[in-house]
Amino acid sequence: MILLIVFLLLVASELLYFRLADRFDIIDKPNERSSHKHITLRGGGIIFLFGAWFYAAFYGFQYPWFLTGLTLIAAVSFADDVHSVPNRIRIVVHFASMLLMFYQLGLLTTEQWWIVVPAWIVCTGIINAYNFMDGINGITGGYSIAVLLPLAAVNAVAGFVDPAMIAVTLLSVLAFCFFNFRTRAKCFAGDVGSVSIAFILLFLLGSLMLKTGQLWYLVFLVVYGVDSVLTICHRLLLHENIFKPHRKHAYQLLANELHVPHVAVSAFYMALQLVISFGAIWLPVDKWLYFATVTVVLAVAYLLFKRKYYPLHEAYLQAQKH
Protein backbone atom coordinates (compact mmCIF):
# COMPACT_ATOMS: atom_id res chain seq x y z
CA MET A 1 0.00 0.00 0.00
CA ILE A 2 2.84 2.40 0.84
CA LEU A 3 4.53 1.67 -2.49
CA LEU A 4 1.26 2.31 -4.31
CA ILE A 5 0.88 5.67 -2.54
CA VAL A 6 4.49 6.53 -3.40
CA PHE A 7 3.92 5.65 -7.06
CA LEU A 8 0.82 7.84 -7.26
CA LEU A 9 2.70 10.70 -5.62
CA LEU A 10 5.54 10.27 -8.11
CA VAL A 11 3.19 10.44 -11.09
CA ALA A 12 1.40 13.47 -9.62
CA SER A 13 4.74 15.20 -8.97
CA GLU A 14 5.87 14.54 -12.53
CA LEU A 15 2.65 15.95 -13.97
CA LEU A 16 2.99 19.02 -11.77
CA TYR A 17 6.57 19.46 -12.97
CA PHE A 18 5.40 19.29 -16.60
CA ARG A 19 3.09 22.24 -15.98
CA LEU A 20 5.89 24.24 -14.40
CA ALA A 21 8.38 23.31 -17.14
CA ASP A 22 5.90 24.32 -19.80
CA ARG A 23 5.17 27.60 -18.05
CA PHE A 24 8.83 28.52 -17.56
CA ASP A 25 9.94 27.22 -20.96
CA ILE A 26 12.25 24.48 -19.68
CA ILE A 27 12.52 22.73 -23.02
CA ASP A 28 14.99 20.91 -25.25
CA LYS A 29 15.18 22.30 -28.78
CA PRO A 30 16.60 19.91 -31.40
CA ASN A 31 19.81 20.83 -33.22
CA GLU A 32 22.23 19.10 -35.59
CA ARG A 33 23.65 17.02 -32.72
CA SER A 34 20.23 15.92 -31.43
CA SER A 35 18.62 12.54 -32.00
CA HIS A 36 15.11 13.99 -31.70
CA LYS A 37 13.14 16.25 -34.03
CA HIS A 38 10.57 17.87 -31.76
CA ILE A 39 10.71 20.41 -28.95
CA THR A 40 10.41 18.40 -25.73
CA LEU A 41 10.18 19.24 -22.04
CA ARG A 42 13.53 18.90 -20.27
CA GLY A 43 14.22 17.83 -16.70
CA GLY A 44 11.58 15.11 -16.30
CA GLY A 45 14.23 13.06 -14.53
CA ILE A 46 13.75 15.24 -11.47
CA ILE A 47 11.32 12.48 -10.50
CA PHE A 48 14.34 10.40 -9.38
CA LEU A 49 15.09 13.02 -6.74
CA PHE A 50 11.42 13.09 -5.75
CA GLY A 51 11.60 9.32 -5.35
CA ALA A 52 14.53 9.60 -2.96
CA TRP A 53 12.68 12.19 -0.90
CA PHE A 54 9.50 10.10 -0.80
CA TYR A 55 11.54 7.07 0.26
CA ALA A 56 13.03 9.06 3.15
CA ALA A 57 9.62 10.45 4.12
CA PHE A 58 7.85 7.07 4.20
CA TYR A 59 10.67 4.76 5.30
CA GLY A 60 12.86 7.01 7.45
CA PHE A 61 16.02 9.02 6.88
CA GLN A 62 18.34 6.03 6.95
CA TYR A 63 20.88 7.59 4.56
CA PRO A 64 20.87 11.34 5.40
CA TRP A 65 24.33 12.15 4.01
CA PHE A 66 23.59 10.38 0.76
CA LEU A 67 20.26 12.20 0.44
CA THR A 68 21.95 15.54 1.09
CA GLY A 69 24.57 14.82 -1.56
CA LEU A 70 21.90 13.73 -4.03
CA THR A 71 19.89 16.89 -3.42
CA LEU A 72 22.95 19.10 -3.97
CA ILE A 73 24.04 17.42 -7.19
CA ALA A 74 20.45 17.35 -8.48
CA ALA A 75 20.00 21.05 -7.68
CA VAL A 76 23.06 22.18 -9.61
CA SER A 77 22.15 19.85 -12.49
CA PHE A 78 18.62 21.25 -12.64
CA ALA A 79 20.01 24.77 -12.59
CA ASP A 80 22.21 23.76 -15.53
CA ASP A 81 19.12 22.49 -17.37
CA VAL A 82 17.44 25.86 -16.92
CA HIS A 83 20.47 28.08 -17.52
CA SER A 84 24.10 27.11 -18.09
CA VAL A 85 26.09 26.86 -14.85
CA PRO A 86 29.87 27.56 -14.88
CA ASN A 87 31.97 24.38 -14.92
CA ARG A 88 33.87 25.33 -11.76
CA ILE A 89 30.63 25.53 -9.77
CA ARG A 90 29.37 22.18 -11.06
CA ILE A 91 32.73 20.54 -10.31
CA VAL A 92 32.77 21.85 -6.74
CA VAL A 93 29.18 20.70 -6.09
CA HIS A 94 29.82 17.29 -7.68
CA PHE A 95 32.92 16.82 -5.55
CA ALA A 96 31.10 17.86 -2.36
CA SER A 97 28.16 15.57 -3.17
CA MET A 98 30.43 12.59 -3.74
CA LEU A 99 32.25 13.27 -0.47
CA LEU A 100 28.88 13.15 1.31
CA MET A 101 28.09 9.85 -0.41
CA PHE A 102 31.51 8.46 0.53
CA TYR A 103 30.91 9.52 4.13
CA GLN A 104 27.58 7.69 4.09
CA LEU A 105 29.37 4.61 2.73
CA GLY A 106 31.98 4.82 5.50
CA LEU A 107 34.92 5.53 3.21
CA LEU A 108 36.11 8.70 4.99
CA THR A 109 37.95 6.83 7.73
CA THR A 110 41.64 6.43 8.52
CA GLU A 111 41.54 2.86 7.20
CA GLN A 112 39.67 3.58 3.95
CA TRP A 113 41.04 7.03 2.99
CA TRP A 114 43.16 5.67 0.13
CA ILE A 115 40.01 4.50 -1.69
CA VAL A 116 38.58 8.03 -1.95
CA VAL A 117 40.67 9.29 -4.89
CA PRO A 118 40.17 6.27 -7.21
CA ALA A 119 36.50 6.10 -6.16
CA TRP A 120 36.04 9.78 -7.00
CA ILE A 121 37.65 9.28 -10.43
CA VAL A 122 35.47 6.24 -11.21
CA CYS A 123 32.29 7.93 -9.94
CA THR A 124 33.00 11.09 -11.92
CA GLY A 125 33.49 9.05 -15.08
CA ILE A 126 30.29 7.06 -14.57
CA ILE A 127 28.20 10.15 -13.78
CA ASN A 128 29.47 11.97 -16.87
CA ALA A 129 28.94 8.91 -19.05
CA TYR A 130 25.38 8.55 -17.73
CA ASN A 131 24.84 12.26 -18.32
CA PHE A 132 25.42 11.79 -22.06
CA MET A 133 22.97 8.88 -22.17
CA ASP A 134 19.81 10.99 -22.40
CA GLY A 135 20.06 11.10 -26.19
CA ILE A 136 17.28 8.83 -27.39
CA ASN A 137 13.87 7.98 -26.00
CA GLY A 138 13.85 5.37 -23.28
CA ILE A 139 17.55 4.67 -22.91
CA THR A 140 18.10 6.36 -19.54
CA GLY A 141 15.05 4.78 -17.92
CA GLY A 142 15.36 1.41 -19.63
CA TYR A 143 19.04 1.01 -18.85
CA SER A 144 18.49 2.11 -15.24
CA ILE A 145 15.86 -0.62 -14.84
CA ALA A 146 18.40 -3.09 -16.24
CA VAL A 147 20.80 -2.06 -13.45
CA LEU A 148 18.23 -1.91 -10.65
CA LEU A 149 16.68 -5.35 -11.22
CA PRO A 150 19.91 -7.35 -10.71
CA LEU A 151 20.75 -5.09 -7.76
CA ALA A 152 17.38 -6.01 -6.24
CA ALA A 153 18.05 -9.71 -6.86
CA VAL A 154 21.46 -9.56 -5.17
CA ASN A 155 20.08 -7.45 -2.32
CA ALA A 156 17.55 -10.16 -1.53
CA VAL A 157 20.51 -12.37 -0.62
CA ALA A 158 23.29 -9.98 0.43
CA GLY A 159 21.12 -7.35 2.15
CA PHE A 160 23.43 -4.44 1.41
CA VAL A 161 20.70 -1.76 1.47
CA ASP A 162 17.08 -1.27 2.55
CA PRO A 163 15.00 -3.12 -0.10
CA ALA A 164 12.44 -0.30 -0.06
CA MET A 165 15.06 2.09 -1.41
CA ILE A 166 15.55 -0.01 -4.53
CA ALA A 167 11.79 -0.53 -4.84
CA VAL A 168 11.01 3.21 -4.68
CA THR A 169 13.83 4.00 -7.12
CA LEU A 170 12.39 1.42 -9.52
CA LEU A 171 8.96 3.02 -9.20
CA SER A 172 10.39 6.46 -10.00
CA VAL A 173 12.14 5.06 -13.08
CA LEU A 174 8.98 3.26 -14.21
CA ALA A 175 6.96 6.46 -13.81
CA PHE A 176 9.55 8.34 -15.85
CA CYS A 177 9.56 5.63 -18.53
CA PHE A 178 5.81 6.06 -18.96
CA PHE A 179 6.49 9.57 -20.23
CA ASN A 180 9.83 8.96 -21.95
CA PHE A 181 10.03 5.36 -23.18
CA ARG A 182 7.77 5.98 -26.17
CA THR A 183 8.03 6.97 -29.82
CA ARG A 184 7.15 10.61 -29.06
CA ALA A 185 8.59 11.37 -25.65
CA LYS A 186 6.69 13.70 -23.36
CA CYS A 187 9.94 14.69 -21.62
CA PHE A 188 13.67 14.06 -21.43
CA ALA A 189 15.52 13.30 -18.22
CA GLY A 190 17.80 16.31 -18.53
CA ASP A 191 21.01 16.68 -16.53
CA VAL A 192 19.00 16.57 -13.31
CA GLY A 193 17.65 13.14 -14.23
CA SER A 194 20.71 11.45 -15.68
CA VAL A 195 23.04 12.76 -12.96
CA SER A 196 20.58 11.94 -10.16
CA ILE A 197 19.93 8.35 -11.23
CA ALA A 198 23.67 7.81 -11.80
CA PHE A 199 24.35 9.09 -8.27
CA ILE A 200 21.72 6.74 -6.83
CA LEU A 201 23.03 3.73 -8.76
CA LEU A 202 26.59 4.50 -7.66
CA PHE A 203 25.47 4.56 -4.03
CA LEU A 204 23.73 1.20 -4.43
CA LEU A 205 26.68 -0.36 -6.27
CA GLY A 206 29.10 1.10 -3.77
CA SER A 207 27.09 -0.33 -0.88
CA LEU A 208 27.07 -3.73 -2.58
CA MET A 209 30.79 -3.80 -3.35
CA LEU A 210 31.75 -2.65 0.15
CA LYS A 211 29.44 -5.24 1.73
CA THR A 212 30.74 -8.13 -0.41
CA GLY A 213 34.26 -6.94 -1.22
CA GLN A 214 33.61 -7.82 -4.87
CA LEU A 215 34.39 -5.17 -7.50
CA TRP A 216 33.23 -7.36 -10.39
CA TYR A 217 29.68 -6.13 -9.75
CA LEU A 218 30.64 -3.24 -12.03
CA VAL A 219 29.59 -5.69 -14.74
CA PHE A 220 26.10 -4.31 -14.06
CA LEU A 221 27.22 -1.22 -16.03
CA VAL A 222 29.37 -2.90 -18.66
CA VAL A 223 27.22 -2.39 -21.79
CA TYR A 224 27.03 1.36 -21.57
CA GLY A 225 30.49 1.45 -20.00
CA VAL A 226 32.11 -0.09 -23.08
CA ASP A 227 30.10 2.16 -25.41
CA SER A 228 31.07 5.28 -23.42
CA VAL A 229 34.77 4.53 -22.97
CA LEU A 230 35.37 3.52 -26.58
CA THR A 231 33.36 6.49 -27.88
CA ILE A 232 35.50 8.83 -25.76
CA CYS A 233 38.64 7.19 -27.18
CA HIS A 234 37.26 7.62 -30.70
CA ARG A 235 36.52 11.30 -30.12
CA LEU A 236 39.98 11.86 -28.68
CA LEU A 237 41.47 10.33 -31.82
CA LEU A 238 39.38 12.80 -33.82
CA HIS A 239 40.71 15.65 -31.63
CA GLU A 240 37.21 16.58 -30.48
CA ASN A 241 36.16 18.20 -27.23
CA ILE A 242 34.75 15.19 -25.35
CA PHE A 243 32.58 17.44 -23.16
CA LYS A 244 30.53 18.77 -26.07
CA PRO A 245 27.33 17.04 -27.30
CA HIS A 246 27.72 14.60 -30.17
CA ARG A 247 26.06 11.72 -32.04
CA LYS A 248 28.87 9.15 -32.07
CA HIS A 249 27.69 6.56 -29.54
CA ALA A 250 26.81 3.19 -31.06
CA TYR A 251 23.20 3.58 -29.92
CA GLN A 252 23.06 6.99 -31.64
CA LEU A 253 24.29 5.49 -34.91
CA LEU A 254 21.61 2.83 -34.62
CA ALA A 255 18.88 5.42 -34.05
CA ASN A 256 20.05 8.16 -36.39
CA GLU A 257 22.02 6.68 -39.27
CA LEU A 258 20.38 3.23 -39.40
CA HIS A 259 16.92 4.59 -38.47
CA VAL A 260 16.18 1.89 -35.91
CA PRO A 261 13.28 3.14 -33.72
CA HIS A 262 14.47 4.76 -30.49
CA VAL A 263 12.44 2.43 -28.29
CA ALA A 264 13.87 -0.62 -30.08
CA VAL A 265 17.46 0.57 -29.52
CA SER A 266 16.74 1.34 -25.86
CA ALA A 267 15.05 -2.03 -25.38
CA PHE A 268 18.07 -3.76 -26.95
CA TYR A 269 20.54 -2.05 -24.59
CA MET A 270 18.26 -2.82 -21.66
CA ALA A 271 17.85 -6.51 -22.59
CA LEU A 272 21.55 -6.99 -23.31
CA GLN A 273 22.55 -5.56 -19.94
CA LEU A 274 19.95 -7.67 -18.14
CA VAL A 275 21.19 -10.88 -19.78
CA ILE A 276 24.80 -10.06 -18.93
CA SER A 277 24.03 -9.05 -15.34
CA PHE A 278 21.91 -12.07 -14.48
CA GLY A 279 24.45 -14.27 -16.24
CA ALA A 280 27.08 -12.90 -13.87
CA ILE A 281 24.82 -13.63 -10.89
CA TRP A 282 23.60 -17.09 -11.82
CA LEU A 283 26.24 -18.78 -13.99
CA PRO A 284 28.72 -20.96 -12.06
CA VAL A 285 31.80 -19.32 -13.57
CA ASP A 286 34.76 -17.27 -12.40
CA LYS A 287 33.24 -13.80 -12.07
CA TRP A 288 36.32 -11.83 -13.10
CA LEU A 289 36.88 -14.08 -16.13
CA TYR A 290 33.22 -13.57 -17.03
CA PHE A 291 33.58 -9.78 -16.64
CA ALA A 292 36.72 -9.73 -18.80
CA THR A 293 35.20 -11.96 -21.48
CA VAL A 294 32.02 -9.91 -21.72
CA THR A 295 34.02 -6.68 -21.91
CA VAL A 296 36.22 -7.98 -24.73
CA VAL A 297 33.26 -9.33 -26.70
CA LEU A 298 31.37 -6.04 -26.37
CA ALA A 299 34.47 -4.05 -27.32
CA VAL A 300 35.06 -6.14 -30.45
CA ALA A 301 31.39 -5.86 -31.43
CA TYR A 302 31.53 -2.08 -30.93
CA LEU A 303 34.66 -1.71 -33.07
CA LEU A 304 33.27 -3.83 -35.90
CA PHE A 305 29.97 -1.96 -35.81
CA LYS A 306 31.63 1.47 -35.86
CA ARG A 307 34.01 0.41 -38.64
CA LYS A 308 31.08 -0.57 -40.83
CA TYR A 309 28.58 2.19 -40.05
CA TYR A 310 30.52 5.24 -38.86
CA PRO A 311 31.02 6.45 -42.47
CA LEU A 312 27.26 7.09 -42.50
CA HIS A 313 27.75 9.58 -39.68
CA GLU A 314 30.62 11.24 -41.52
CA ALA A 315 28.34 11.64 -44.52
CA TYR A 316 25.73 13.23 -42.25
CA LEU A 317 28.30 15.70 -40.91
CA GLN A 318 29.38 16.64 -44.45
CA ALA A 319 25.75 17.19 -45.45
CA GLN A 320 25.25 19.52 -42.44
CA LYS A 321 28.18 21.69 -43.60
CA HIS A 322 26.49 22.23 -46.93
Please compute the mean of the pLDDT values over residues 16-25 and round it to a whole number.
91
What is the structure's pLDDT at 38? Answer: 59
| Number of CB atoms found within 10 A of residue 268's CB | 16
| Each residue's pLDDT tens digit, 122-137 | 898 899 888 877 678 9
pLDDT score recorded for residue 297: 98
- DSSP secondary structure of 111-156: TTGGGHHHHHHHHHHHHHHHHT-TTSTTHHHHHHHHHHHHHHHHHH
Which of 10-24, 68-82, 172-186, 236-250 has the lowest average pLDDT?
A: 236-250
pLDDT reported for residue 37: 56
How high is the pLDDT of residue 29? 63
Number of H helices, E strands in the chain: 12, 2
H/E run at residue 52: helix 47-59
Q: Does the pLDDT value for residue 190 go beyond 80?
A: yes
Ranking 134-138, 157-161, 170-174, 309-313 by mean pLDDT, the lowest is 134-138
Predicted pLDDT of residue 263: 95
Higher pLDDT, 135 or 143: 143
